[in-house]
């Protein structure tokens, strides 16, 4: 793509990253974009094709695009939440807090339920232009196992998780992502553990030095995305954040996502 086409691509990508369109929204038509951005239709289609290949748009019919994420299932109505009457600390330090919550599920007698509070975490999958992901080969003493992981770490109090994602990637790998996009926030053990995980995907990276966090770094390598299913089968992908991020990338790659035509 030429400079003008690249500028249009970056503008549209920034709009999508800023969530200007809700999941399932129809993207402006080619005619509208051609007039608004003063770009030729052929060049615009190059831009849209790239956004589709990155999983940021879906093709719906000829020359019609939508923002991914629309769903057909409706939220059930009439399902009651648990009642929470109080909570008390059993153990607390800088890494973990154990509590007992006084709860009452619908139709069940009140009882005390254990709740573990851990930190808010950010995890980043950085993809380069050769379809490789930046990973670390590390030893985890709890499962007594080596495996591949994505960079990530604890979100400091008052810190935006996107800043954490950038900081931890640089500290643990020595590579700085050129862009970051938030994909999902989830809870890895939602039944009794509170530990929000923010997942980011980065596109492109530049080497800015050696890892500064030697305890976390381990062996650093750009791993082909084509190897991910095999590494998963061998049990070498450790951590739910790593799995969630990589499964998202594999599901939204060209020819593998939810792109459909009607």
- Please, is 155 exposed, middle or buried when counting C-beta atoms within 10 Å of its C-beta (0-12, 13-18, 19+)? buried
The most distant pair of C-alpha atoms in the chain lies apart, rounded to whole Å, by: 67
Tokens of 245: 């991020």
Q: 229, 245, 230, 226: which is closest to 149 by C-alpha?
A: 245
Confidence band, pLDDT 50/70/90 cuts, at residue 261: very low
Average pLDDT over residues 76-89: 94
When pLDDT is averaged across residues 18-32 and rounded to a whole number, the result is: 86
**Interatomic CA distance for residues 46 and 52, integer angstroms:** 10
Q: What confidence category does residue 259 fall into, taking pLDDT thresholds of 50, 70 and 90?
A: very low
For the chain, give every domain's residue range: 3-66, 83-117, 121-252
How far, in Å, CA of 241 to CA of 70, rounded?
A: 23
Mind listing the pLDDT tens digit for each residue in 133-152? 999 999 999 999 999 999 99
> Over the stretch 37-81, which tens digit does the pLDDT of each residue have?
999 988 998 899 888 888 888 887 666 888 887 777 888 999 999
| Residue 25 to residues 50, 60, 69, 199, Cα–Cα distance (Å) | 19, 11, 9, 23
pLDDT of residue 22: 81
What is the rounded CA–CA span in Å between residue 246 and residue 160? 22
Q: Name residue, tokens 């999983």.
A: 55
Least confident of 25-34, 50-59, 217-226, 248-257: 248-257
pLDDT at residue 257 is higher than 80 = no
DSSP state of 191: T
**DSSP label at 227?**
G
Could you tell me what percent of the chain has a pLDDT over 90?
66
Burial (Cβ within 10 Å: 0-12, 13-18, ≥19) of residue 152: buried
Q: In this predicted structure, which of 56-60, 84-88, 99-103, 150-154 has the lowest mean pLDDT?
A: 56-60
Percent of the chain that is helix, strand, coil (3-state, to 5): 30, 30, 40
For the cut 90, the answer to whether the pLDDT of residue 181 exceeds it is no
Name the burial class of residue 21, with classes exposed (0-12), middle (13-18) and buried (19+) by CB atoms within 10 angstroms of its CB.
middle
DSSP state of 26: B
Residue 1, pLDDT above cutoff 70 = no
CATH architecture of 3-66: Orthogonal Bundle (1.10)
CB 187 within 8 A of CB 196: yes
Distance (Å, whole) CA 59 – CA 107: 46
What is the rounded CA–CA span in Å between residue 216 and residue 168? 10
Top pLDDT among 20 and 97 is at 97
Under a CB-based contact definition with an 8 Å cutoff, are residues 112 and 101 in contact? yes
Distance CA 68, CA 21 (A): 10
Which CATH number is correct for 121-252, 3.90.79.10, 3.90.1280.20, 2.30.29.30, 1.20.210.10? 3.90.79.10
pLDDT tens column, 102-138: 999 999 999 999 999 999 999 999 999 999 999 999 9
pLDDT bucket at 215, cuts 50 / 70 / 90: low
For the chain, the average pLDDT equals: 89
Question: Rounded to 5 degrees, what are φ and ψ at 153?
Answer: -175, -170
The answer to whether the beta carbons of residues 255 and 169 sit under 8 Å apart is no
Rounded to whole angstroms, the Cα distance separating 117 from 193 reads 6
- What pLDDT, on a 0 to 100 scale, did the predictor assign at position 62? 62
């Amino acid at each position: 793509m030429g400079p003008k086409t690249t500028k249009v691509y970056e503008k549209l990508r920034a709009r999508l990253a800023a969530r200007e369109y809700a999941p399932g929204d129809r993207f402006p038509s080619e005619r509208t974009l051609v007039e608004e951005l003063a770009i030729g239709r052929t060049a615009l289609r190059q831009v849209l094709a790239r956004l589709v290949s990155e999983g940021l748009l879906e093709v719906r019919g000829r020359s019609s695009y939508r923002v991914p994420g629309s769903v057909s299932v409706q939220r059930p109505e009439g399902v009651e939440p648990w009642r929470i009457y109080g909570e008390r600390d059993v153990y607390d330090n800088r890494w973990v807090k154990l509590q007992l919550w006084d709860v009452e599920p619908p139709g069940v007698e009140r009882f005390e339920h254990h709740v573990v509070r851990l930190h808010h975490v950010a995890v980043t999958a950085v993809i380069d232009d050769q379809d490789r992901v930046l990973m670390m080969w590390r030893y985890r003493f709890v499962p007594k196992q080596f495996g591949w992981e994505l960079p990530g770490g604890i979100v400091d109090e008052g810190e935006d998780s996107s800043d954490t994602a950038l900081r931890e990637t640089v500290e643990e790998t020595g590579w700085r992502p050129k862009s970051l996009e938030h994909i999902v926030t989830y809870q890895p053990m939602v039944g009794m553990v509170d530990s929000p995980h923010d997942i980011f995907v980065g596109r492109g990276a530049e080497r800015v030095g050696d890892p500064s966090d030697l305890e976390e770094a381990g062996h650093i390598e750009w791993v082909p995305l084509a190897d991910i299913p095999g590494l998963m089968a061998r049990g070498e992908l450790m951590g739910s954040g790593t799995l969630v991020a990589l499964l998202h990338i594999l599901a939204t790659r060209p020819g593998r996502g939810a792109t459909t035509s009607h």
